[in-house]
Structure 1
Amino acid sequence: MFRRRSDDASSSATVVAEQDETTTRHPEAPKGRPTPKRSEAEANRRTRVTVPKDRKDAARQSRERMRAEREKQRMALLNGDESALPMRDKGPVRRFARSYVDSRWTMAEFFLPYAVVVLVLSILRNPTLQLLSTLLFLLFFVLVILDFVRLGLGLRKALAERFPNENTRGAIAYALMRTLQMRRLRLPKPQVKRGERP
């Protein structure tokens, strides 16, 4: 008695499922696409990336992919290839910000050499030289901040004129961080000369 009811319920559920399937699918193309030929399916299976069964092989393949991706990005940073740059460096806004900074002399790019000189002066056992090194460091720090303000305001104005309808958020901070690096060490490599219009 119980068995008969369960059989009736399962057969009615199958009928409902078949009705739903026929109402949602087109009668001429049940899958929405033609069935591929056997040769095409086998070719797709061969070209598909196979996941190795061994965890060590999977980790090795992952490391090789990551290494190849890093090498591609490094070459793009050296050559200025826009297609393979990291996301933080892509786009016309970031390219313009880089060129704006690279075409100017800035105080911040001399921060590292200046800091080495100040450090050497502060190590010497002469109180006058130590006081002088501290004062020079403070003076240079103030000049760098003033240069940052000048550069940031100029870049903001240039971005508003050049890209009035685009999102320029973060471009000024990106450009100011670039000024802290010496010109020959900057990545992506500078594409403009000093004094050249970006």
Structure 2
Amino acid sequence: MFGRKKDQAPDPQVTPASDEQIARSKDPRSAKGVPTPSRKDQEEARKRPLVPNDRAAAKVIARDARREEQARMRRAMDTGEERFLPIRDKGPQKRYARDFVDARFSLGEFVMFAALAIVLLTVVIPTRNADGSANDSQLIVFGLFWVMVAFVAIDTWLMSRKLKRQITAKFGSVDPGVVWYGSMRSMQFRRLRLPKPMVKRGEWPS
């Protein structure tokens, strides 16, 4: 009674959608008033190479990509952004090691300046006195330098042991090379370290 009769004629005002209209409605990229690209055009677009056939253009694209990557890496060295850091600096344990080293005062920071002072003193201080006898001043300077090197070695060794304990307590184990990574960082002058320090002295990582 309420169903549609089988022999009822279709409404003349309703026209069936064409195949092109159906494809256009299913294509999310199609916009109003923009014709749907033909199958041939779509296949040609898929066949386009990712790298241009022109070698000169390919070199320009590769050079621009390298420059962009290097720029991101330089910014990461300043900001500490993990995803763009070099492989040698990536990882949570290395980040912890950097923060641990940067939070402390290390004698190794001043080895470079001590070595430079030794070179200058060897130029200024004569090797022999006016009477021809050996000048002991240079021996004293070299002796003080080697005493400082010994203290630096002891300080670095103690630091590496503590760093290893801290990393083990926080992460459960120590990745290979992390302790050495922190030890070498402690030998660099703080302002010249890369990536740049993200913590202040005394601001120990948790």
TM-score range, shorter chain: 0.7 to 0.9
Structure 1 residues 55 and 139, CA, compared in 2 at 3 Å: closer, same or farther?
same
Aligned equivalents of 1:81 and 1:152: distance in 2? 25
Q: Which position in structure 1 is the counterpart of 2:93?
A: 93
Asked whether 1:174 is paired with 2:167, we answer no
Q: CA deviation at 1:167?
A: 4.7
Asked whether 1:71 is paired with 2:79, we answer no
Asked whether 1:155 is paired with 2:163, we answer yes
Q: What letter is aligned with 1:52? A: P
SS at the partner of 2:200? Answer: coil
Structure 1 residues 119 and 54, CA, compared in 2 at 3 Å: closer, same or farther?
same
Structure 1 residues 145 and 58, CA, compared in 2 at 3 Å: closer, same or farther?
same
CA-atom RMSD in angstroms = 2.5
Q: CA deviation at 1:79?
A: 0.8
Is the CA contact 1:101–1:175 (under 8 Å) kept in the aligned structure 2?
yes
Is the CA contact 1:118–1:136 (under 8 Å) kept in the aligned structure 2?
no
SS at the partner of 2:194? Answer: coil
Q: CA deviation at 1:64?
A: 1.7
Higher helix share: 1
Q: What letter is aligned with 2:147? A: L
Aligned equivalents of 2:151 and 2:113: distance in 1? 15
Q: Which moved more, 1:80-89 or 1:102-111?
A: 80-89
Asked whether 1:191 is paired with 2:203, we answer no
Aligned equivalents of 2:68 and 2:91: distance in 1? 23
Asked whether 1:110 is paired with 2:110, we answer yes
Q: CA deviation at 1:118?
A: 1.2
Is the CA contact 1:103–1:196 (under 8 Å) kept in the aligned structure 2?
yes
Q: What letter is aligned with 2:69? A: E
Q: CA deviation at 1:54?
A: 3.2
Structure 1 residues 52 and 146, CA, compared in 2 at 3 Å: closer, same or farther?
same
Q: CA deviation at 1:84?
A: 1.3
Is the CA contact 1:152–1:172 (under 8 Å) kept in the aligned structure 2?
yes
Unpaired segments ≥5 residues, structure 2: 1-35, 128-134
Q: CA deviation at 1:71?
A: 0.9
Q: CA deviation at 1:110?
A: 0.8
Q: CA deviation at 1:120?
A: 1.0
Aligned equivalents of 1:103 and 1:39: distance in 2? 64
Is the CA contact 1:122–1:134 (under 8 Å) kept in the aligned structure 2?
no
Q: CA deviation at 1:43?
A: 9.8
Q: TM-score, normalised by structure 1?
A: 0.72
Unpaired segments ≥5 residues, structure 1: 1-36
Aligned equivalents of 2:109 and 2:43: distance in 1? 55
Work out which of the two has the higher radius of gyration on C-alpha atoms and give 1 or 2.
2
Aligned equivalents of 1:151 and 1:61: distance in 2? 46
Asked whether 1:130 is paired with 2:138, we answer yes
Aligned equivalents of 1:111 and 1:177: distance in 2? 12
Q: CA deviation at 1:38?
A: 5.7
Q: Which position in structure 2 is the counterpart of 1:30?
A: none
Aligned equivalents of 2:185 and 2:195: distance in 1? 10
Structure 1 residues 67 and 49, CA, compared in 2 at 3 Å: closer, same or farther?
farther
The alignment of Structure 1 onto Structure 2 pairs a total of residues equal to 160
